[in-house]
Structure 1
Amino acid sequence: MWSFMSTDGIPPEERLDWYSDIVSREVMPAALSSERPAEFQGESAVLDLGDVRATRASMSPLRSRRTAAMIRRGDPEQYQLALLLKGTVSLTQHRNECTTGVGDLMLWDTSRPSDCRMPAEDGRVRVSILMLPRNVIPLRPQRLDRMLARRIPGNTGMAAILASYMTSIEAHSAACTPQELHRLGTIAADLATACLAQHLDAEDQLPADVRRQALLQRIHTFIEHNLGDPELNPPAIAARHHMSVRTLHKLFHDQGESVHARIRRRRLERCRTDLADLGLRSRPVSAIAARWGFSGPVLFSRCFREAFGLTPTEFRALSINDSRAERSAR
């Protein structure tokens, strides 16, 4: 699970040095400095995903420099890919320089000197980072050098899918088994590779399993965005992704869940969330079912009972009672 560290409880005059020691020990040696060291606050957490590690961090603006001497002192030999969730960050490495904002990604190499700056006037920074050993990225280092310190917009293509996946790890990893966490790490590495390859026009050089995983995530994302469409079905999905229906079914068969099962499960989960939402209690059950693509209330009620053991109406009543009892106990 997440290993958590925070400057809370550390005397203000010691917080920056303490945080710098943590970063140097848990991530890589780096020199941290701040324009307002007495006001510095920071927290971070690390999650092991097999060969890959995920890090989330929130901190007051600072500057992080990594010199050749620091690399000699300690180098995890990783590519680190960051998704900026709050604030602004500028990075310089390998003769490249970029400034990123919320929703952008950027890549750096721990084996090269770097200079990372967070402007004080832009406020606190929050970031999600994938720490990727070199051997899990099957792209030539000479090509990857072109991606160092380069802004990668996170709202289109594989970058958008990767960004969504990174935030979902943070949101849902607590419920995962060690085996599932290892699988999450493998998928994260494949998506990061596919994202970088797309920006390098090198997708044809990817191993078949990486291309397959990237395609599957594209399809999952397409399904998520179209759950409310009652016409969402295997032929429509296959046509959108330029493949045969047979190929689509084989892709899902290898995952242990059919296309139909995936669509129905995600629709039911969305309906369950809405039915438990007190803010939607005046919305009819039939309207919630229609919102998520069910063709009629009878089919929806039967599917919901099969999945959760209660009718939608029974589940909603129980959820409302539980929410009221919880608020009364506060």
Structure 2
Amino acid sequence: MLDESFLRTADLPVGDRFEAWTERMGRTHAPMRLASDRAADYRGEQRLVGLGDVTVWPATFDHLVFRRTPKLIRQSDPEVYHLSLLRRGEAAASWGSRQVAYRIDDFHTNSSSRSYDISTGPEPVSMIGVEIPRALVALPGHRADRVIGSRVSSREGMGALLAQFLIQLVSDTGPYRPSDGPRLGTVVTDLVTAVFAHALDADREVPPETRARTLTVGVKAYIRRHLGDPELTPARIAAAHHISRSYLYRLFQAEGITVGAYIRDQRLRRACRDLADPAQRTTPIHAVGARWGFPRAAEFTRAFRTAQGVPPSEYRERAWAADRAEAARQGCGPSSGPSAKQLWTGRR
């Protein structure tokens, strides 16, 4: 499991809640002055996920005003860039005379080295924050700083790629080991660098290795979106990304896996999830295979047995038995959620 910590102010005495939240925000990004019209009984939840030098933190919290002043910068500057993906609510920021309003699915960009005022709306805000050392963004500092204060959309382009990665990451960190943290941090760093470069139209300044890793993330996201298509081939993937098949193969060789193996692994993971889902108990096994890109039942069974050591029918029975046993242990009826995360063995 990744390095994580949690804060939920509802678990604290009412009088301590806002102070605890203020301290938490100061440690997460940089010391700030915080104010809120809900300070008397402040409600906020934050999960801090450590990825080496990078931190990702999903949070939901009441109305809040953040102020980082020149004095606070002189006292303490961790020299980090901050990005936050707004998932619910509204917010606005100002840097002197410059003001920007943020909508849902916008990225807000900031720097601990600049003074600012940020205010959220009256309703609770949900967001995913990212803290990344400025030195890790592979662009000249004076260029990268020009992105600060910009509103970056997560609905298209590099912003969409970064948003998809962050949302998937924070939705379930269970499959990752502590040693995966720095590697995931490198992916986030590359994506942030690509987002900044795109905003500056400065792709040529991005190191080749960063471009390659960013492209690999995009290719993988494309594959996951099209797993159900039995015609998902390396040629089609390469064409969709305007690269040659040989370059596509090299991207995956750098990851120690082939394109075909990655597609097969992702398809089988989705199939495992569906087979272990009690809500899909009556779905024919061949239909599960077809849903995830195995139109021929024999091909699905063969690939599944190779990966899991048992045929799909036996896997489903074991999953259902494990679900019933867990329900009996807890003294309740069968659960309605899938248990594929526990059952997937990761065998190749």
TM-score normalized with structure 2 length: 0.89
Match of 2:7 in 1: 5
Match of 1:310 in 2: 310
Distance in 2, matches of 1:243 and 1:24, equals: 44
Tell me the CA shift for residue 37 of structure 1.
1.6
Q: CA RMSD in A?
A: 1.7
Match of 2:159 in 1: 159
For the pair 1:110 / 2:129, whether they are aligned, the reply is no
Q: Number of aligned pairs?
A: 328
Match of 2:136 in 1: 136
Distance in 2, matches of 1:124 and 1:224, equals: 32
Distance in 2, matches of 1:8 and 1:36, equals: 13
Distance in 2, matches of 1:281 and 1:174, equals: 24
Q: Is the 8 A contact 2:84 2:130 kept in 1?
A: yes
1:147-226 matched pairs, under 5 angstroms:
147-226=147-226
Match of 1:20 in 2: 22
Residue deviations 1:255-285 (CA, integer Å, cap 9, x gap)? 1010000000001111111111122222211
Tell me the CA shift for residue 186 of structure 1.
0.8
Distance in 2, matches of 1:14 and 1:217, equals: 42
Tell me the CA shift for residue 94 of structure 1.
6.1
Task: Give SS of 1:173's match.
Answer: coil
Unaligned runs of 5+ in 2: 333-348
Q: Is the 8 A contact 1:64 1:117 kept in 2?
A: yes
Task: Give SS of 2:152's match.
Answer: coil
Cα gap change, 1:41/1:29 in structure 2, threshold over 3 Å: closer, same or farther?
A: same
Unaligned runs of 5+ in 1: none
Tell me the CA shift for residue 27 of structure 1.
2.7
- 63, 83, 107: which one pairs with 1:61? 63
Distance in 1, matches of 2:291 and 2:20, equals: 50
Residue deviations 1:55-75 (CA, integer Å, cap 9, x gap)? 222211111111111111211
Q: Is the 8 A contact 2:29 2:82 kept in 1?
A: no
Match of 2:230 in 1: 230
Cα gap change, 1:139/1:320 in structure 2, threshold over 3 Å: closer, same or farther?
A: same
Match of 1:253 in 2: 253
Task: Give SS of 1:142's match.
Answer: helix
Distance in 2, matches of 1:204 and 1:94, equals: 32
Q: Is the 8 A contact 1:61 1:125 kept in 2?
A: yes
Percent identity reads 35
Q: Is the 8 A contact 2:18 2:41 kept in 1?
A: no
Cα gap change, 1:135/1:315 in structure 2, threshold over 3 Å: closer, same or farther?
A: same
Distance in 1, matches of 2:90 and 2:285, equals: 43
Match of 1:269 in 2: 269
Residue deviations 1:103-129 (CA, integer Å, cap 9, x gap)? 221110111011111111xx2222211
Distance in 1, matches of 2:221 and 2:33, equals: 39
Match of 2:34 in 1: 32
Tell me the CA shift for residue 174 of structure 1.
3.8
Q: Is the 8 A contact 1:93 1:108 kept in 2?
A: no
Tell me the CA shift for residue 249 of structure 1.
0.9
Q: Is the 8 A contact 1:93 1:148 kept in 2?
A: no
Distance in 1, matches of 2:281 and 2:157, equals: 36
Distance in 2, matches of 1:101 and 1:211, equals: 28
- 46, 50, 53: which one pairs with 2:52? 50
Distance in 2, matches of 1:310 and 1:114, equals: 58
Tell me the CA shift for residue 287 of structure 1.
1.1
TM-score normalized with structure 1 length: 0.94
Tell me the CA shift for residue 163 of structure 1.
0.8
